[in-house]
Structure 1
Amino acid sequence: MPDTDQPQVCGRRSFLPAALVPAAVALEPHPGRASAADVERDLRCTLQAHGDDDHQAFVLDLDGPDTGAVWASWCDGTVPAQVRVLPPCPAVGGGEPCMEYAGHRGGHSFELHDPLADRSRAIGGAYGT
């Protein structure tokens, strides 16, 4: 059973405009290793729940060590206007790495409760996965 006393993820959603997909792919340091199909367009802020409207979401994992990942940011009521490369958060807890970017605010991903992850596990369990 998950620890629901943990701080929760924000969970605010947006989408990556089609015009930013080529920009995200172009940030891959090894041409040809990423394609538009690899780009996450359904965005969800997984930072710790916060009181402002500045949200961040993972867009594309870059190939190779120390390359980071592509992230997008947006404010409530808007869609992202740009993408950027951020280095990974170096934190590890209980053998689990933080899935956010270096210097993110709030708790690390392994310290947060994510109700959507709970639902996914419940659905997977119902289907034997």
Structure 2
Amino acid sequence: MRCQLSAHDEDEGEHFGLLTDTGAYGTALWLRWHGPDDAQVVMLPDCPMAAPGPDGDGCRLFADHTAQHTWQDAVEEVLYAS
């Protein structure tokens, strides 16, 4: 599984990969790990942030995540690809 957090130190800190949407409004199951032998399944609330504007995409991570929201990554990719 690949960590879904944006830029962070790959060797240190926690990593998170989405397992599944639990079906309960506002939560999802995530795999959290620190190293190859230290993984846990955790239920986390969804991040409530959305991109600016009336049609802004919602963040696809969990509440209180580190680094950028997922829609911020997409904006940077479009800006640098031009």
The answer for the alignment partner of 1:55 in structure 2 is 15
Partners of 2:6 and 2:41 in 1: how far apart? 21
Match of 1:102 among 52, 63, 70: 63
Q: Choose between structure 1 and 2: higher strand proportion.
A: 2
The structure with higher relative contact order (CA 8 Å, sep 6+) is 1
Q: Deviations over 1:51-105 (max 9, x none)?
A: 2252111111011323x000111124x0553201000000000410000000000
Partners of 1:63 and 1:91 in 2: how far apart? 19
Aligned length: 69
Unpaired runs of 5+ in structure 2? 75-82
Q: CA RMSD, aligned part only?
A: 1.7
Unpaired runs of 5+ in structure 1? 1-42, 114-129
CA contact (8 A) 1:72 1:80 kept: no
Q: Choose between structure 1 and 2: higher helix proportion.
A: 1
SS of equivalent residue, structure 1 residue 93 = coil
Give the number of the structure whose alpha-carbon radius of gyration is greater. 1
Paired-residue identity, %: 32
| TM-score calculated relative to the size of structure 2 | 0.72
1:37-116 map, 5 Å: 43-51=1-9, 52-66=12-26, 68-76=27-35, 78-94=36-52, 95-113=56-74
Runs of 4+ in 1 over 6 A off after TM superposition: none
Partners of 1:87 and 1:63 in 2: how far apart? 12
| TM-score calculated relative to the size of structure 1 | 0.48
